[in-house]
Amino acid sequence: MIQEPTHPSKKPVYLLIAAGGFLVLALLILSLKNRGNFYVDQKLSSSKKISILVHILSDSEKYLFSFYSELYPQEKKAALFFVNPLTSFEDEEKSLEERGNSAPGHLESSLEDILDHSIQYKLTISETNFKDLINLLGGLEVFFEPKSSRITDRYERKEKVYNLDGEDCFDVISHLEDKKTLSYFRRLETQESVILTLLESLHLKKDFLTKQRVTLLHERIENNFSAKDWESLIDFLKKEKIQYGVSELPGEPIGRPKKKDEILKAKKDTVKVAFTKFSSDVRSIYFSDGERARIEVLNGTAKNGLARYGKALLNDKGLKVLTVDNAWENNFTTSVILNRSGNTQYTDSISETFQGRKVFYALRKDLGLDATVVLGEDFQGTKE
């Protein structure tokens, strides 16, 4: 008897389809979950920029300053745009300083409106967390010259190199000589100098930042980074030598007769044009063009002819020297390089020329210079 062929049951087919559907769904969920976690990794491996806004506040919630940064991973460059606490936007009467702990949120919304894009990452660093970060790095080496902000309410520092701990660093960046607008500008330059020193220390002192310490900082500092994004960014800054450029959010001094003071009025169009040009300059080849550099070489010894020889060495490297002169004292025992403008490419090149002598950040825009080189030794047996 011939039996009719039997048909396999369709139930296993449905089960396979259902299982496949669940697998696809699980992979989709996993992909979406990891998308945020590896966002910085994706940016770091591409040509896309990463935008970060950082605020510094005292423990009493007094607003000190902010800086907006755009990091360009493929070029290993970053533009730092510092914000003076006297800044006030458009028709507003209050300065950021007067807004206190609400200043970060107000600045974020104002900048996003001006730049026409959302800022990806935000950090608000308190006084305590700032001190802890500096201490984790073993302090910061800061150079004090005659016109540096050496004397504060707490300390009277001499003219030399100090390794400042967290307490000292915060004292330096928070000290304000008086309430005049010029004093705010001078303090902002000090703040820029300390931040550049801090960023460089993340690279030079990478061994201090263990994974455990990086995780601890992420937990303590107010931020919107995922744990993975935070770790990826810090690892990148530790590994790569980033070239920085520094500028300030422009504002026009406007008097307030009733309060007998001034604020800095920031106009939307002016700010947008200024940052667009600045970020473009940082990424251009002209930003590292030695012929555009503005350098002074000072002789910090009693030996004649040292500054002129230093100028010749820099000229041979394609770096333009504007002036040579004697330093404010002639008892330097080693050479120092002072970054004046925030353009780190020039001072890195100068350091290479002088056998790796240390670069200190002592920004002073009033000098119209990129760098001051103080020679305290004879590199090639200079003769009178």
- Please list the pLDDT of the chain residue by residue as tens digits (384 residues): 434 444 444 455 555 555 555 555 555 544 444 444 446 666 666 658 999 999 999 999 999 999 999 999 999 999 999 999 999 998 788 999 999 999 999 999 999 999 999 999 999 999 999 999 999 999 999 999 887 767 787 877 877 888 999 999 999 999 999 999 999 999 999 999 999 999 999 999 999 999 999 999 999 999 999 999 999 999 999 999 999 999 999 999 999 998 889 999 999 999 999 999 999 999 998 888 888 899 999 999 999 999 999 999 999 999 999 999 999 999 999 999 999 999 999 999 999 999 999 999 999 999 999 999 999 998 765 444
- Does a structural domain hold residue 28? no
- Does a structural domain hold residue 251? yes
- Does a structural domain hold residue 238? yes
Q: Return the axis-axis angle of helices 227-239 and 181-204, rounded to nearest 10°.
A: 90
- Does a structural domain hold residue 9? no
Boundary of a domain, candidates 283, 298, 317: 283
CA-based nearest residue to 149, from 104, 192, 106: 192
214 and 175 fall within a common domain: yes
> Would you state the pLDDT for residue 315?
95
205 and 74 fall within a common domain: yes
CATH of the domain at 156: 3.40.630.190
Residue with tokens 């004046």: 340
pTM over 0.75: yes
- Residue 358, beta-bridge partner list: none
Cα–Cα distances in angstroms (integers) from residue 342 to residues 93, 189, 268, 374, in the given order: 31, 10, 24, 18
> Would you state the pLDDT for residue 149?
67
170 and 301 fall within a common domain: no
136 and 62 fall within a common domain: yes
> Would you state the pLDDT for residue 4?
42
259 and 330 fall within a common domain: no
216 and 360 fall within a common domain: no
Boundary of a domain, candidates 283, 312, 341: 283
> Would you state the pLDDT for residue 211?
94
233 and 248 fall within a common domain: yes
Helical ranges in 56-139 per DSSP H: 96-99, 103-115, 127-136
Task: For residue 69, give its domain range.
Answer: 44-283
- Does a structural domain hold residue 8? no
Boundary of a domain, candidates 262, 283, 304: 283
203 and 262 fall within a common domain: yes
Question: Residue 174's Cα: distance from chain center in Å?
Answer: 17
> Would you state the pLDDT for residue 178?
92
The total domain count for the chain is: 2
170 and 189 fall within a common domain: yes
